[in-house]
Amino acid sequence: MSVINFAFLARPNIFRNFLKGNTSRIFSLNTTNYSTEEPPEVQEAPETVTREPSEKEKARDRTKVIPVETSIRYLKSAAYKETYGEYLVWEQYRRNHKGMFPPRKTRKTCIRKGMLSTGNPCPVCRDEYLVLDYRNVDLLKQFISPQSGEVISYSKTGVCQKRHQELLISVERARDFGYLTFDVPFREYDYSEYYNEKNESKK
Amino acid sequence: MSFGSNLRMFANKASLCCNVNKVTLELFSRCSTVAFLQYDKDPGPSFSNPDVQKLLKSMTRVQLEKVYKKRSVSDNTVEYKFMTSEQLEKQFRKAAERAEKLIQMPPIVKVKEDSQKVISRDPALTNFSNTKFVIADITYGVNSSDRKILVRQTDGTLEYAPLSIRKRINQIYFPHPGRKIRLPRMFEPEHLNRCLANFQYEFILDRACVQFDPYEKEYHEITTKVYNHINESKRFDDLRSTRHFGPMAFYFAWHQIIDDLLYDMIKQDYLKNGAELVALYYQLNGIDYDKSIHEKLETLVQPQSTIQSVLKPKASDDMHEEIKNAIGKSAEDFTADDISFEFIETFVKTKALKKVQLELALQALRETNDEKKKLYHGLKKAHGIS
């Protein structure tokens, strides 16, 4: 078990799942471990390319498109509850970086060529059932600050740049469609503008 | 054609913009077929009438907690200060004054129709350009409604811009905070219906206030749709103590559908408001009634000042106060209730649409009120006060 990195230890419930042998819900995977499994003569033999992908490869695959409806159901399900508990989706995520200070920006993207390309994917990329869409209100709400009503910065949530852009777009769309409510700026009316012509006595 | 300092022109992608407007108009005309009650004559003068304003404001029942509820806006700062009790009272007074502004009712005016006002026809300019030109005077300090905005058509006609173009140009140069140049999709019928089904009344109305001007047809359609939905779902409490309660009550009274609101007021023991609503109904529909009831109620029930509700009542040894606090009503309240009862009952007998329901509610309230009255007198006797 020496391949387990610190990210596992930080999330006890996921760790427990791992010990039970249930590897389907693991978010972070170790890249080095994965590459050693691959046989070196892959290029020569064409039939080894078409072999069944291993369990870990399947877990990294992100080519399957999950519909929003599934994601909306997932956020209400017991599986979601078990994975995240009472925490927000991004709350328990920790970025990996060398030194004391994290880089100003998060990584550009976690998914390259349809596969997870990192061992510590961002909170949205790591769980394939979290789909950013304007109808997925429960998910979007987790990224909006209750104090300011704005989308929380990636420096706090750790979401990768690509997902953060998607998040901003879907929040804007959700507000446009009325899925997300917000505090509308107050409009003060000048009554004299509307009633002055008829009755000269100003209100 | 000199327009003072800043004169700007820009070519207008006329055909494209016109299409967008047409689409939204079509959408609205489709949604307007469902129970859209129009104001048959100009409601402006009646709405701005001081008596009506007073009634509407009183019905709103301002609660400072609701007016100053927590808002998630970017400048959400809190300041902590040490104060003497006089300073604190002064602050409360200021807060109450500010609350008055925050619940300012959106005006109700009649729908403004577009009219074509041609300034000059210059056939020499025909086909000078294949787009029309919009000319706007963006001098600082001019009111949005007074701003001069003209259109030079492709056939050389110079005319005042129609309302839709005016609104767009005003929004480009002098944006209203929160208003979008394109209509938010929320106001399209299917999405509006979803928002209504989720009971997001205040949000819809707030946003409609910002997005539209009170004289726009869309504004009237959306607000009436919301009011009708509230009337069906009977969730009047959602709007109570907001700026939209007055216009809603006005709408109901104008269209003579106050029964559900009156029932709600009776049920919640807001009898004075019920009497006011009935008075409003009489006033808007030109029915004579005894106007002395307002004075009677005014003298009996002290106008519920917003400051008093915030400042904690001083501990008094007055027995009257104590009994009043225990029961929630004073002797004056009981007599005021009796007056309101009579006033509402005559309305129920003559004009109400849902007579049985209202009569039953009145009956039930009268019984509980009688019990309270008995208790009140009993307590008074026990304490030896006549």
Q: Which of B160, B167, B82 is nearest to B117 (CA)?
A: B160
A193 CB near a chain B CB, below 8 Å? yes
- The strand pairing partners of B160, in sequence order, are B150
Query: Which chain B residues are closer than 8 Å to A198 by Cβ?
Result: 44-45, 48
Tell me, yes or no, whether A200 lies in a domain. no
pLDDT in tens, B322-353: 777 777 777 777 888 888 888 888 898 888 88
Phi, psi of B120 (to 5 degrees): -155, 150
Contact B185 A178 (CB under 8 A): yes
pLDDT tens series, chain B, 386 aa: 334 334 444 444 333 344 444 444 444 443 433 445 788 888 989 999 999 999 999 999 888 889 998 888 888 888 899 999 999 999 989 998 999 999 999 999 999 988 889 999 999 999 888 999 999 999 998 888 889 999 999 999 999 999 999 999 999 999 999 999 999 999 999 999 999 999 999 999 999 999 999 999 999 999 999 999 999 999 999 999 999 999 999 999 999 999 999 999 998 888 889 999 999 999 999 888 887 788 777 777 765 555 555 555 555 556 777 777 777 777 777 888 888 888 888 898 888 888 888 888 888 888 888 888 888 888 888 887 76
| Domain ranges for chain B | 7-34+115-173, 256-386
Enter the tokens of residue A167: 């998040």
B322 CA to chain A: closest CA distance, Å? 41
Task: Answer yes or no: is A153 within a domain.
Answer: yes
What is the domain count for chain A? 1
Q: How far is CA B314 from CA A98, B310, B311, B321, in A?
A: 62, 12, 9, 10
**Do A149 and B73 lie within an 8 Å CB cutoff?**
yes
SS3 B357: helix
The closest of A2, A1, A10, A3 to A158, measured between CA atoms, is A10
CB-CB under 8 Å, B76 with A147: yes
CB contacts of A184 in chain B (<8 Å) are 178, 203, 206-207, 209-210
Q: Answer yes or no: is A100 within a domain.
A: no
Question: Is the CB of A148 less than 8 angstroms away from the CB of B73?
Answer: yes
Enter the tokens of residue B175.
């944006």
CB contacts of B203 in chain A (<8 Å) are 178, 181-182, 184
The Cα–Cα gap between A150 and B74 comes to: 7
A202 neighbourhood in chain B, CB within 8 Å: none
d(CA B234, CA B40): 25
* Residue A203 belongs to a domain: no
By Cβ distance, the residue of A146, A177, A184 closest to B191 is A177
- Residue A154 is part of which domain span? 6-94+105-177
CA distances from B7 to B134, B137, B287 (A): 11, 6, 53
Query: A91 to chain B, minimum CA–CA distance in Å?
Result: 20
Alpha-carbon B39 to chain mean position: 15
Nearest to B247 by CA among B351, B109, B51: B109
Rounded to whole angstroms, the Cα distance separating B176 from B211 reads 8
Are the Cβ atoms of B210 and A203 closer than 8 angstroms?
A: no
Domain presence at residue A201:
no
Instruction: Please give, rounded to a whole number of angstroms, the shortest distance from the CA of B297 to a CA of chain A.
Output: 25
ipTM comes to 0.81
CA distance A19 to A23: 9
The full DSSP string for B221-282 is HHHHHHHHHHHHHT-GGGTTTSTTHHHHHHHHHHTT--HHHHHHHHHTT-HHHHHHHHHHHH
- The CA distance from B112 to the nearest CA of chain A, in Å, is 11
